Amino acid sequence: ALLGSYAQPAQQAVCKVRTEVVEVTRAMLDRSNANFLLWPPCVEVQRCSGCCNTKSLQCVPVLTHTRYLQVMKIEYMNKRPLYAKAVVSVVDHVECQCQPAPRAPMSRKKSSRRHHSHRNQTHSVSVNHIRPRFTISLLNAF
């Protein structure tokens, strides 16, 4: 009974956009070269999280936005650091909704399967791929 007096009522973590931290990885800029570091090592992004009222629904982004971030690329040449500006992209979730959780993809129609794979891609952190041509043109502007 004593414990109960200190406990507060549990609030459901509703499905909404929250700030999360993602790692800034070298793969965001260049998958073929490991001879550099990026600063900062992590950044904040907006991501959907929370739970829906039933297990058959899941919290997913229905609107996303790609944001381009200027980072510092530190490359080592002859043990000396070379500094350069670089641009990486991150995906922010803008709007979230509780939607039916996907079933086995093979049993679904083509159109819904395509939508399902896009949903998962937007939801994962690995979507932060850079567009090389765009990056180069941005770098030249600095």
Of 124 and 103, the structure prediction assigns the larger pLDDT to: 103
Of 35 and 139, the structure prediction assigns the larger pLDDT to: 35
CA distance 43 to 3: 39
What the chain holds in terms of domains, given with CATH numbers, is: 12-141 (2.10.90.10)
For the cut 50, the answer to whether the pLDDT of residue 119 exceeds it is no
For 16-71, what is each residue's pLDDT tens digit? 999 999 999 999 998 888 889 999 999 999 999 999 999 999 999 999 999 999 99
Give the pTM: 0.65
For the cut 70, the answer to whether the pLDDT of residue 108 exceeds it is no
* pLDDT number for residue 102: 80
Q: Quick one: which H or E segment has residue 23?
A: strand 16-23
Let me know: does 93 contact 127? Beta carbons within 8 Å: no
